Amino acid sequence: MAAQKNRLKIRALVAGNWKMNGSKKDLSELRKLATAMKPTKSGGQVKAEVMICPPATLLPRMADVKAKGIALGGQDCHANINGAHTGDISAEMLKEAGAKAVIIGHSERRADHNESDKIVRAKVEAAHRAGLMAIMCIGESLKQRKAGETLKVVQGQLRGSLPDGCTAKNTVIAYEPVWAIGSGLTPSVEQVGEVHTALRKALMRRFGDEGAKTRILYGGSVKPANAEELMAVPHVNGALVGGASLKAQDFYGILKAYL
């Protein structure tokens, strides 16, 4: 009952991160998802905000589809508005292409591109500057989990990666244990609950009422089979979904947790 009340206080967000996947032929999955989400006599309305974060090349195409009930987001942005940054894209460019939000500090960016908390914080500030919602990611490695350092790691990342001025409207936190991403492994509901509760307390200490309202998503091998159980954990306010968001049928199976 407590988990249900928690879900009703804060409108959940379920965001699909397509990563480096997708081409124009996959726009059909967006249309299928929008169709599946339409209320019918036998099915109710999804009581969560729904978002797809495709590669930047697909953002304008997806915006043209005008899939009702599905917002769009980017997967990364540069801290600057413009300049000599070959291959990068600014938050302002993402917004112009149709994005409402941007994923920042994903573990793959932190690892593959050596993004520090300082770099992530600058990108969160850039998202706010452009009027985008920042979906800021944190998470521990398997080595850190086994060493009992999970809370120390994620609280440190939270503290170092969030600038002052974060609000419940312009910032979302996504907890993704690195060892669970794409591995098929999932923490127990008790482990997820422990981390999300600690993050909620940390957000409230720093941001007060805004921290109490800020959404904290869970990510890492979320799929239709475990979505309902994970989304019922206290202080889990939605999900950041990877591979299971590429197919409308799988993604909608996760969204059913919020019917």
Of the listed 106, 128, 196, 235, which one is catalytic? 106
How far apart (Å, rounded) are the C-alpha atoms in residues 109 and 17? 13
How far apart (Å, rounded) are the C-alpha atoms in residues 169 and 42? 33
* Three state DSSP letters for 97-160: HCCCEEEECCHHHHHHCCCCHHHHHHHHHHHHHHCCEEEEEECCCHHHHHCCCHHHHHHHHHHH
Cα dihedral 118, 123, 125, 127, rounded to 10, equals -160
106 has catalytic annotation: yes
How far apart (Å, rounded) are the C-alpha atoms in residues 102 and 39? 28
How far apart (Å, rounded) are the C-alpha atoms in residues 140 and 178? 6
Interhelix angle 189-207/150-161, rounded to 10 degrees, is: 40
Q: What is the DSSP letter of 221?
A: S
Cβ atoms of residues 155 and 116 within 8 Å: no
Write the CA distances from 130 to 33, 121, 168, integer angstroms.
Answer: 28, 14, 16
Q: Which amino acid is at 230?
A: L
Dihedral pair phi/psi, residue 35, rounded to 5°? -65, -45
Of the listed 29, 108, 115, 176, which one is catalytic? 176
78 has catalytic annotation: no
CA nearest to 79, candidates 53, 105, 108, 112: 105
Catalytic residue set: 106, 176
